[in-house]
Each structure stands twice: as structure tokens, then as C-alpha cells.
Structure 1
Amino acid sequence: MRKNRIKISTMLLLFTLALVSVNCSDDFLDVNENPNDPSISTPSLTLPVAQQSFAELNARTMTYLGNMLVVNWATPSNWSANSIYSRYDFSADDFANIFETSYVGIFKDLTYVENYTDASGAVDYSNYQVISKIIKGFQYQLLVDLYGDVPYTEANQRGDNPTPAYDDAETIYKAVIDDLGLAVDMITNAPENAENPGDQDIIYYGHMEEWAQFANSIKLRMLVRLSNTGQDSYITSEIAKIDANGYGYITSSTVANPGYSNSANKQSPFYDYFVQPSGAQTNRQDYTVASETTIEFLSETSDPRMARLYKPSASGGAFKGAVQSTVLPGTGFTSEDLSKVGPGLLVSAEQDQIIMSLSEILFIQAEATVRGYLPGGDTAAKALYEAAIEASFLQLGVADAIAEAEAYYDQGTQNVSWDSSTNKIEAIMTQKWIALNGTSSIESWIDLTRTGYPDFLPLPEESPGVRPVRLLYPASERSRNANNVPQQSGDDVFTDDPFWR
């Protein structure tokens, strides 16, 4: 595993830096700071801090939100937490850290890296700039998918422009796609003296060809997301550029690991959400249980991943889920009676934090092939689909994973077996939903909004009868940037569709 290559000194440095960052504060306006004239940091110190913040945000808030909205998880009757996920009464105060952390922390540090120039001219930091550009692209894609229009061209200037304008969502998407292509070109044409970040890069450790593959993978995800917009010629021309650069797509999961360990504030962020360094469960682990819908689907399709995604209930040893509701029966539906997050997701305090799994990019390629954006037709799409399922089995640690995966997808069941599935997009989305359970499940919510699959996911009884399609801009942003933030009402959570829907 990559984490074995990380030096202890690097680990200690990162967690110290996480406290200081680049003059870090709670406000990305920072009107008294000049981002082009910092006094204390360099790209080699700032990049890993940005990467760590990026990994933590995607591991926690966005993963939890995604799992709830695609009905992977529910809440037991002995807890009052999480009522927001049963009622969908999202407000401008909910999930604000997705927007805030992106601008206050991640973009702030990445922009510093991109703008940094070594005064002596002795060090070329173009590889750092490339990495920053790629991570920005990943995060901007998510912000557009979740919020729509966001600050882009005028963003991240801090004191030079504390109230940036909002850019059109589709314009940002295409600008990011261009930037990802530029990043790959920069890798291809990097100067011989370009500084390699090595262990200061906690994702790929300075292997720039892998960064190029990751950039191509993000770009393909965005292009496939445009499939309902009538822009097939644009999509195919941009995919042709990916083919031309020759790097291909990621061939193993993209993960972050600065040297996570079983110590306070140093555990892998997803694991830390559920397990204390002592091994005791957090409250979140107790009030996060399997959903009835997912348990039923995994059971009906004889899916061995169930024992990796969930734990048997403490009281009866069976796999049991609950409905998403604040009105639950009091007997047989408490946290001890229900399945909690399983051992394939909570492996250890040292586990890698997945950014984009191999399974996800294989499913994206399968969808692109079905839609005619990639060559090979049904034969190639089937091979990619089955490889994606195998990658999921391997990732979750299923025993004898390949043989078990083959037995699973050969069983002749709709939306499991490729040949038995009449709607290939539905089959891909259904299996992708399982594969992203507990990892990049925010993508499952976005896919559900885009495609309508899986189409059997129930709506909570207390909900307004429709699932959210976006988040509201934070109240803090409305306060400080009132002249630019788009006007919204609470109903927009359900009615203001993403531009690509």
C-alpha cells in the first residue's frame, strides 16, 4: 500500500501544518493578506495541507450526506439524530462546511501553491501547480453539481476581491474540463528541473503520470455527466483529446494517506468518524445503521458484499436495516438490533482515504461506452462493467474476491448480470450505487439526480415526496456576498435542477 512509503517525519509535519496552514483563518476573505506575498510557507509545505483538507471533507460530510440521500444508511429509533435526512428540511445552515471548507481552506491553499514563484528562481514548482489545478477541478465539479453557479473566475483572490461574482455552472464545468486538459499538457511538457513533490504529495507521491490519469478520469466523469445536454459532439471531441494524450485513466484507486495512525486527530478521516482511538464506537457509529432497502436488495441478489458493507446486528446476529424515518417502532429497531457500518469500510485507523475508486472509473467508462462515447460496443461495456464489480469486491475485502464476483454477476439477475439486464444504464447505476456505498456516495446522489437510478429507492414518509437535487448557499455567504449570491427559496432544494439534468 502507498502509505508504507510515507515517512514518520512527514506525518508529523502534516498534522502540525494542519493547524497553521497558510495563515489560515475562519474566513477566506482575509482582506489584510496578500496571497502573492506570503511570509511563512512554500508549495512543499502548503500542498499536503490542502490535500489533507480535501480528503477529510470528501470522507466525512459529503460521504455521509450521499449515503443518506441514496438510502444506504438510516437512523435507529433510539436516536433523535439525523431527522434532517427523513424530512429533507434542508436550510442555508446545513452542510455549509462543504462550501466554506472548499473556499476557506482547500482553494485558498491551492491558489497559494499555483501563484507561488520562487524569488531566487532556483526551484521550479510547476508539478505542484499541476497537482493544485487537478484537485481544484475535482472540487469545483462537486461544487457545481451540488450548488449550481458558484464563484470561479473572481474567486480565491482574498483581499483583492472579497465579494467575487458567481459564474454560470455550465461555463465553470467547461473551464474546468479545459484546465484538466491543460494540467495534463503541463505534465507532458514539464521542465527537466521541475521539483518533484515526492512524499509531500500525500496522494500520488510525485508520480506525475498517475496525476495525468487522475485528471483524465475526472474529465471523463464530467463529460459523461453532460450526456443529457445534447452536446455529444463536444463530449466526443474532448474524449478524443484524452485519447490523444496517451495517459489513459486510473488503474488503481486514487487515495490519500499522509500517514494515518491510531492516535487522536491522526486516524483516517472516515474511520475517525465512527471509531475512537481506544476502539470504542463514536455516537455516529451507534446512530448510523443500514437501511432496510439496501439490506433487502443485497439479500435478494445474494451479494457477499453485504457482510463487508454492514455488520450483523449485535442482538440477533442477522443483517437488518431500518427505514429512513423519525417515526419508528421502539422494539427491534434500536441500534443494537440493526446492522451498522461494516468491516469492509471501517478497516483500520491507518486505512487509505479513497478519493476516486477504480470501481467508479470503470463504471464511468462502461457508461461512456454504452452511450457511444468510447469504442467497443456491448462487448467492451460488459467487460468494463464486470471489471468494475470485481474491483468493488476486491476493495471491500471479500474473500476469494474474483471468484465470488464472477459467481455474483453470472447469476442471471436483472441489474446484476449484464446479459440479463434490459436497461444497461440502469444496471450500471445500480451496481455503481453498491460499489460507492460508504466511499464516494455523494456521486451516487448526483447520479441518481441525473439518471433516476436506482429507481427503487424509497422516499421517507416525512419528506415532501420528492428528493433534494441541490444544496442551498450557506447563510454566511449570503451575508458577506449578498450582492452576488443567487437568490433562493427553500423550495429550490427540490426544484432548481443542475444544468446537466
Structure 2
Amino acid sequence: MRKINIKTTVVAMAIGATAMTGCSKFLDVNQNGNLPEKVDPNLILPTTEATIAHVVGNNLHQYGSFWAQYFTQNPGSSQYKVLDQYMSVNSSFDRQWGLMYSSAMTDLKNIIKLSSENTDYRLYGAMANIMLAYDLQLLTDGFGDIPYTEAGQGSENITPKYESQKAIYDSIFSLIDKGIASFAEGGVITPKKEDLIFGGDINAWVAFANTLKLRACMRLSYQPEAQEMVEAALQSLEGKTFLTQDAKIEYYAAGGFGNPFYEEMLGLGKTQNVVGSATVVNQLNANNDPRVGKFFQLNKDTVYMGIPQGSYNTTEEDPSFPTAAIAGDAQDINSATAPVKLMSASESYFLQAEAVARGLMSSGDAKDLFEKGIKASFDAYEVSSADAEAYLQNEPVAQFPTSDINAQVKAIITQKYFAMCGNQSFEAWTEWRRTGFPDFFVMSEVGSLGGKFPTRFLYPNNELVRNPNTPKGVSLSDKVWWDVKD
């Protein structure tokens, strides 16, 4: 967990500024005009990490926050009405697609190539393999079938083939295994400050890789066609170390080096476009959850108030704004310093808890891991240990069911949902798609999908125009391959 070093990562953070332009050079899955091919891996690594964090903390955060019902549109503004309306169009997804492909994926493949040519940089290659697996999972979880093997080849192939989600996940597991093996082999040059996530801490990277593999296993765990793949991966994780700290990038409150969602708000004139959704705020209030004040501000009536999802045209309530701690207050410069969490310690514990509860892993105690997940979330927002202990006695929300597996999964995912409020929004929406939990989502008042929720992204317009292999006729309410649980 490293705060960005401005002297060494000006190029990396320039991604945030260029991402705002929407230039077409970012939209080709095979071309990256930002960096020449022959650059040392230590210069490319921070660029890729910053790019992926930008996408997670801004582009995916916007969709995740609305579709996981953490935020809804502020009645006093209009920027994100289309998200509440479930009316995103293909071009809405151009930017994140381009950044994850033409910037991040191309550069990561370049690092892997360079590290194979010069094994002194093997540790950079290991990190690149892990981050490429992470990037691929974001892409396939959002879009479904995607290009991979033929992507990132420059002008040699401008119409890469699309591969099934099953094939993509097979590549994800393979990349993680290659990364872990390269960490074990070691390298002459050890990344340090240029690694914005862990500052070159190899043990932390291995734990991150193991946890990412566990996340991938759990994502596929209800899909019958993936069971052989999942069982092999889970077996390899028995007895391994997992994250006990957040994998995150921190930011500065100066000179355009702030949290990417806050920088987006600055670009929109500091307009407060997001407010608390009643879906999450009401639950936090009902549970006497002390994190409500960490995630949301008191309104004029000194209460935490969310408005119904999509009610911006009908409500007369005074909604609570998100806090600076989750980069949600457009008027508070402290929003700039909110970290982007690629994966949290809390998520790590909840993933382990679910795997043990469902009998997919044998090491660990599900109840203990469940409670560690809650405590890790409380610690991340500096909630006192006394408040944490009191919350754990709160029935039934924080009590771990004793026998019924489905009830245990519901408890785990619901608590994961609260922990991810405003900081891992895309992952929270994705876990809801996978499990159906939490089970208290409501239809947006202005939803346009005929009573259905959004369950995927649309293929970007630029890709539809350029690549004839792009699947046609995809709807926001179509499910991706692993989304099979009712």
C-alpha cells in the first residue's frame, strides 16, 4: 500500500487526465500510443497500476455504486441519471474498455515480454502476470466474452477473436500461477517505489495473487461447467497465505493527483451528483452500524438519510452526501486522498469464510473468518474496537448462522456488501449478480429494463464498429456465463 510518489510517477498519473478526454486512441484493443515498446519495466509498471486503479476507482465505481445501490442521483443535479434509468448505451463503455485494453493490457504484456528477455526483471514480470489476471477478470466480469490471446498485437491483428468466459478464466488461473512461480524464482532487480500497490513487498504480492485466485474460484463456484477448473485451483490454495492488508493505491490532494472519482467531480465543476441510496443507508441505520457515519454525512436534520433509488424527480427528502473517506464529497478536498482499493483485507476474509462454509476449502473456521472480515472493515475506517465488538453481538445481522449453508452465505455476502460501501462498488455489484445477496435491492423508480436489473455491460461502440467479431444484440439484462444462481 503505497502513496503515489509524484517524482517517479508523473507519467502514470497523467492517465487520469487523458482518460477524461475520451480520445479514440484509447479505444483500440491492440494499440497504445502512450509509451514506446522498448521501455524498462520499472517505468511501465506504475503506469499500468495507475491505469487499472483509475478504472476501478472511477469508471467501474460509477456503475457499481449505482447498480449496487450505494449511491443514487442527487435531485439537484443530473450527471448520472442514465445509470439510475438503466439506459447506458454502447458508447458509455468506450472509456473503461480502452483503458483496460490499449493502455493496461498492452503495457502488461510488454512487461511480461521484456522480463522474459531479461530475467533480471523477472519480478516485474511476476507482478505484470498478476495484474493482467486482475485486468482480465474486471473485463470478463463486466462484458462476458472478450478478446485476449489475439489482443495487444498492434497492427498485426486489428480484429482479435473473442474468447468464452470459460477460456478467459482458464487464462486468469494460468497467469496467476505463472506470476506466483516467477515470484518464487526471484529476480535481480526488485521493484520498490515504482510499485504503487505494495512498494515491492513480494510476500504481499504472493498473498494478493492467492486471494485473487480465490476470488476467481468463488466467482465460478456456482457454474457447473467450471467445477473441474475450480476444484484444481482451490486445491492449490490449501494452506496458502491470503491478504491481511488492503491492496490499494493512495493519492494526494494536490495538482491533479487525487482519487480518480474526485478528479472526475472536479472536472464537472465540483457538482455534487451522488447522494446516499435509501437501500444501503436504511440498512445501516436499522443495524445501528457505526460505519454509516464513515460512509455518509448527516443531512440538515442531523440524520443519515438516503433517498429511494432513482427517485430524483419525486423525492422531497434531504439526502445525505457520501463522505470524503469514500471520495464522495465534491466540496471536500479530503475526497482527493481516499484510496482506491483493488482488493481489501475484509474481502479476503469473507472469500475465505464462504469457501470454508461451503466445504470448498478445509483450512480455517468460517465463523472466525466472517468476524475477521467485519473487523477488518471497521479497522479500515477507524471504528473503535469496542464498537466493533458491540456490532458483532448485533442479532441477527452480524451473527453467523450455525448450520444452514445458504444462510451462512447470505450473512457473509451481506456483510461483504456493507464493507464494500463506496470503496469496492463494482465488486459488490458483481457479488450480488453471482449470489443474489444482499436480497434487499429495489428496482430503480426510473428503471427502463421492464422490471429487470442490469447484470452486465454492453460492448463498446468503438469495438462494434471496428471488430466484426464483437458479439451483437447484447442487452444490459443479459447474464454473463458464471451468473447462474437464481
TM superposition score normalised by structure 1: 0.86
What corresponds to 1:223 in structure 2? 217
Query: Residues 15 and 51 of structure 2 are in contact (CA less than 8 Å); yes or no, is this contact kept in structure 1?
Result: no
SS in 2 for 1:223: helix
What corresponds to 2:238 in structure 1? 243
* CA separation of 1:205 and 1:341: change in aligned 2, threshold 3 A: same
Among 339, 361, 366, which residue is 2:348 paired with? 361
**Sequence identity (%):** 28
Among 25, 50, 53, which residue is 1:55 paired with? 53
Query: Residues 151 and 164 of structure 1 are in contact (CA less than 8 Å); yes or no, is this contact kept in structure 2?
Result: yes
* CA separation of 1:321 and 1:73: change in aligned 2, threshold 3 A: same
Aligned-residue offset at 1:242: 2.4
* CA separation of 1:428 and 1:445: change in aligned 2, threshold 3 A: same
- Cα RMSD for the two superposed structures: 2.8
Aligned-residue offset at 1:75: 1.7
SS in 2 for 1:125: helix
C-alpha distance in structure 2 between counterparts of 1:371 and 1:242, whole Å: 15
Instruction: Structure 2 unaligned segments of length 5 or more: list them.
Output: 328-333
Among 16, 20, 43, which residue is 1:45 paired with? 43
For residues 440-489 of structure 1, what are the alpha-carbon distances to aligned partners after superposition, in whole Å with 9 as ceiling and x for unaligned?
1111111111111111110113322110111110010011112x111224
Give the alignment of 1:443-482 within 5 angstroms: 443-463=427-447, 464-482=450-468
Amino acid in structure 2 at the alignment position of 1:405:
A
Query: Residues 30 and 153 of structure 2 are in contact (CA less than 8 Å); yes or no, is this contact kept in structure 1?
Result: no
State yes or no: 1:180 paired with 2:171. Answer: no
Among 400, 415, 419, which residue is 1:418 paired with? 400
Query: Residues 76 and 322 of structure 1 are in contact (CA less than 8 Å); yes or no, is this contact kept in structure 2?
Result: no
State yes or no: 1:297 paired with 2:289. Answer: no
State yes or no: 1:162 paired with 2:153. Answer: no
C-alpha distance in structure 2 between counterparts of 1:12 and 1:103, whole Å: 21
Aligned-residue offset at 1:19: 7.7
C-alpha distance in structure 1 between counterparts of 2:33 and 2:234, whole Å: 40
Amino acid in structure 2 at the alignment position of 1:171:
A
Among 80, 95, 98, which residue is 1:97 paired with? 95
For residues 364-412 of structure 1, what are the alpha-carbon distances to aligned partners after superposition, in whole Å with 9 as ceiling and x for unaligned?
11111111111257xx1110111100111111222x1x22112112122
* CA separation of 1:236 and 1:106: change in aligned 2, threshold 3 A: same
Among 141, 148, 153, which residue is 2:144 paired with? 148
SS in 2 for 1:478: helix
Amino acid in structure 1 at the alignment position of 2:313:
L
Give the alignment of 1:272-311 within 5 angstroms: 272-274=263-265, 282-283=270-271, 286-311=272-297
State yes or no: 1:264 paired with 2:255. Answer: yes
C-alpha distance in structure 1 between counterparts of 2:432 and 2:253, whole Å: 35
SS in 2 for 1:256: strand
Among 314, 317, 341, which residue is 2:322 paired with? 341
What corresponds to 1:321 in structure 2? 306
What corresponds to 2:359 in structure 1? 372
Amino acid in structure 2 at the alignment position of 1:404:
D
Amino acid in structure 2 at the alignment position of 1:139:
D
Highest CA radius of gyration, 1 or 2?
Answer: 1
Amino acid in structure 1 at the alignment position of 2:358:
R
Q: Aligned residues, how many?
A: 469
For residues 411-432 of structure 1, what are the alpha-carbon distances to aligned partners after superposition, in whole Å with 9 as ceiling and x for unaligned?
222x321148961111111111
Aligned-residue offset at 1:7: 5.0
Aligned-residue offset at 1:498: 2.9
TM superposition score normalised by structure 2: 0.89
